Amino acid sequence: MTSVSRQLAERAERIIPGGVNSATRAIGAPWAWSSAQGATITDLDGRSYTDYHAAFGAILLGHSDERVNTAVSRAMADIDLVGVGTTELEVEAAELIVDAIPSAEMVITTMSGSESTFQAVRLARGATGRPYILKFQGCFHGSYDAIARNVISPPELAWKRDPNSSGILDDAIDHTLIAEFNDLASVQELFDRHPEQIAAVILEPVPHNVGALLPEQSFLEGLREITREHGSVLIFDEVITGFRHALGGYQEICGVTPDLTTFGKAMGNGFPVAGLAGSAEVMGNFTPAGGSVMLAGTFNGNTASMAAAIATISVLKDPELDFYGHVHRLGDRMRTGLQSITDELGIAAHITGLGSVFIPYFLEGEVRGYRDLLRNDDEAYAGFHRRMIEKGSFMYPMALKRNHISLAHTEVEIDRTLAQAREVLGEMAREGVFAAARAGV
């Protein structure tokens, strides 16, 4: 590491807590970035990497996509932030979203996924008059108090009281209940324990914040039945799955329609935009429609975000570009290649993911829920990603974090990454990092 990146990081540390504006950005080297174009990011020391982090999945089309940036520039030349009434851009974006997402009859836009899930939880409580929220171990829905618990929990705290932060009131934590993903019995038990008290069930339909737990169809259908039976709101948090796996999100794929859907990240290809959509009956509880649930935010529906969303969705809908066909083919190529490499090396690994997302779990056996992830070799997982960064493929170096493929990636990058992975995994196997490799190689 030359001095340029580290010097900037040291400057940042003097005036920004820890030198970063979000805890997950503190990864050490590479310390600082100078540019991002297409599938490539470049640090301040001039080293380039093929990017599979994609700003935690926010980048769908590739970095600095000209179509999106041009649309934003043109819109901003005409109108910036007014803060009252509405604009044509807001209405056009809302119409595209309602047309795309099966659950969407009405929609609001926000600036972040955390804001969207916050609005969804408050709306569910306001609409039902009930106090409890049910979430799943391993799912992440933002950093605000009501939901900030039980994401990547250690074994001794999984499904128990595991807040993500200090400074949260006990009532906020204790009014969020924890169930196990793909386990309807754990959900029914909580409904039995708290009759007519659960306002909503919120989940990532594919829990990407712990890699990719693939949902069983019967589980999602069962959640829909249970919430309807008990008069609770079903919320799909599609901040990650939305627009990435299908234009209509994972609900389009599985055919299960929730009452509310949150979305964000990918909709604006890196611009700050997110939102909440749902049935007119539930969304009508917001104050602008005459309800009692406050809706506010000066930057909601701002020009730059709306222009970015319209441009991004237009690219996703273009049949000639075939976004979903392209990224799904590359995703399959990556997953198949990684599984072949680990099998050849005798490494116990379960390569999974969906569409453009790939994850190498280092464990044996099936993966259904968070209980299975407790068997993952977290040290090997993070170590593999760290070594891949050193080879030139940027993968976030923390256990259970997923990797993403964008429209800008090609077979050339995928095959180069697989060649790097073969080198890295071979080195790790020879060093005895993997128990299965030590026994079989």
Per-residue pLDDT reduced to its tens digit, 39-58: 999 999 999 999 999 999 99
In this prediction, residue 362 has a pLDDT band, given cuts at 50, 70 and 90, of: very high
Across 100-114, 249-263, 390-404, 424-438, least confident range: 424-438
Closest CA to 229 of 262, 204, 192, 261: 192
Residue 2 makes CB contacts below 8 A (sequence gap 6+) with: 45
- 66-317, which class in CATH? alpha beta
- Which one-letter amino acid corresponds to residue 349? A
pLDDT per residue as tens digits for the range 83-96: 898 999 999 999 99
> Is 75 a residue whose pLDDT tops 60?
yes
**Range list for CATH 3.40.640.10 in the chain:** 66-317
In the predicted model, what is the mean pLDDT of residues 338-362?
Answer: 96
SS3 call for 439: helix
**Range list for CATH 3.90.1150.10 in the chain:** 3-64+321-440
In this prediction, residue 26 has a pLDDT band, given cuts at 50, 70 and 90, of: confident
pLDDT in the model for residue 2 = 57
- 3-64+321-440, which class in CATH? alpha beta
pLDDT per residue as tens digits for the range 385-430: 999 999 999 999 999 999 999 999 999 999 999 999 999 999 999 9
> Is 361 a residue whose pLDDT tops 80?
yes
Cis peptide before 258 (omega within 30 of 0): no
pLDDT in the model for residue 424 = 98
pLDDT in the model for residue 170 = 92
Say if CB 69 and CB 76 are below 8 A apart: no
12, 15, 95 from 356: Cα distances, Å: 34, 37, 26
In the predicted model, what is the mean pLDDT of residues 277-303?
Answer: 95
- Which segments of 202-242 does DSSP mark as H helices, in order? 217-230
| Phi, psi angle pair for 131, to nearest 5° | -95, -25
pLDDT per residue as tens digits for the range 219-253: 999 999 999 999 999 999 999 999 999 999 999 99
State if pTM tops 0.75: yes
Q: How many residues does the chain have?
A: 441
What stretch of H or E contains 36? strand 33-37
